[in-house]
Amino acid sequence: MPRFFPIDIHSSKTPNIGEFFVFGERNSGTNFADALLRNNFPQLSASANDRMAKHGFRYGWKHGFPQMIAAPDTTLAVVMFRDPERWVQSMHRQPWHGAKHLRELTFSDFLAAPWQSIVDEKNFGITSGADPRAYAELQWDRHPLTGARFDNILQLRNAKSAGFLSLKNRFSNVIFARYEDVANAPAEFINMIGQTYALTARAKFVSVDQQRGRKSDGKFVRHVYDDLTQTDRDFIWSGLDTKQEEILGYIP
């Protein structure tokens, strides 16, 4: 049986978990992790998800910089990361909320393009196309302090990862995990969470076989990506914060 290795775990002395929330960039397995926890911990099935409620997102936009109004000790924060090479390939294939022109670029041009997102779905609280905010630039993907656009998707990752890592200073109970580890050992992931946070999982493990963890999206089929060219790989790693990637476990 494979052993699950999280990046980092923080647990209060007497965890009293009443809900969880999953954070992480797009295409990093957040929906997969969310579905795993809902399927296997019945007591957490009513936790807030990534759908905007009447008064907004409960803990902020899960793909954004930390912006929750509070981080209760009873909330378990689950933070997901993904291998940077596969992540940028997945973002090129499906750049959720990315501006239209980004979707038309070759992979190499996509890597180097200034990042821009748009408000393109009702889940941002825009219910009508007549709303002047509809299809305007999504400010949550700009630098949270300066308001500047990121020079490229790699700079976006550097900043977002720093924001996600800061959650250990905000929540008393938080686990940082790599998508690859969770996907390869989902039952071990659930067992580890149960043991660490004193949560009782279902007697029989319930897997997640649907795309994005949703039946409406159909059965999950793993996408096979082409090998990166050396030029693209060099560009990616020259733009990444390597000290941060080492913390995430993507540099041995």
Q: How far is CA 215 from CA 30, 141, 188, 197, 252, in A?
A: 16, 29, 23, 28, 37
pLDDT for 252 beyond 80: no
Strands 75-81 and 8-10, bridge-based pairing: unpaired
Q: What is the pLDDT of residue 52?
A: 87
- Say which residue, 219 or 158, is predicted with more confidence: 158
Looking at residue 219, its amino acid is K
Q: What is the pLDDT of residue 5?
A: 85
| Beta-ladder partners of 178 | 81
Strands 75-81 and 19-24, bridge-based pairing: parallel
Q: What is the pLDDT of residue 223?
A: 82
pLDDT per position as a tens digit, 149-190? 999 999 999 999 999 999 999 999 999 999 999 999 999 999
- Say which residue, 127 or 81, is predicted with more confidence: 81
The pTM (predicted TM-score) of the whole model is 0.94
Q: What is the pLDDT of residue 55?
A: 82
Tell me the pLDDT band of 218, cut-offs 50, 70 and 90. Answer: low
pLDDT for 1 beyond 50: no
pLDDT per position as a tens digit, 50-85? 888 888 899 999 999 999 999 999 999 999 999 999
The secondary structure of the chain, three-state, reads CCCCCCCEEECCCCCCCCEEEEEECCCCCHHHHHHHHHHHCHHHCCCCCCCCECCECECECCCCCCCCCCCCCCEEEEEEECCHHHHHHHHHHCCCCECHHHHHCCHHHHHHCCCCEECCCHHHCCCCCCCCCCCCECHHHCCCCCCCCCCCHHHHHHHHHHHHHHHHHCCCEEEEEEHHHHHHCHHHHHHHHHHHHCCCCCCCCCCCCEHHHCHHHCECCCCCCCCCCHHHHHHHHHHCCHHHHHHHCCCC
- The structure tokens listed for 134 are 């509809």
Phi, psi of 233 (to 5 degrees): -65, -40
Please provide the average confidence, as pLDDT, over all residues in the chain: 94
| Beta-ladder partners of 175 | 9, 78
Q: Return the half-sphere exposure (C-beta side, CA atoms, 13 A cut-off) of residue 6.
A: 18
| Dihedral sign, Cα of residue 51, residue 52, residue 53, residue 56 | positive
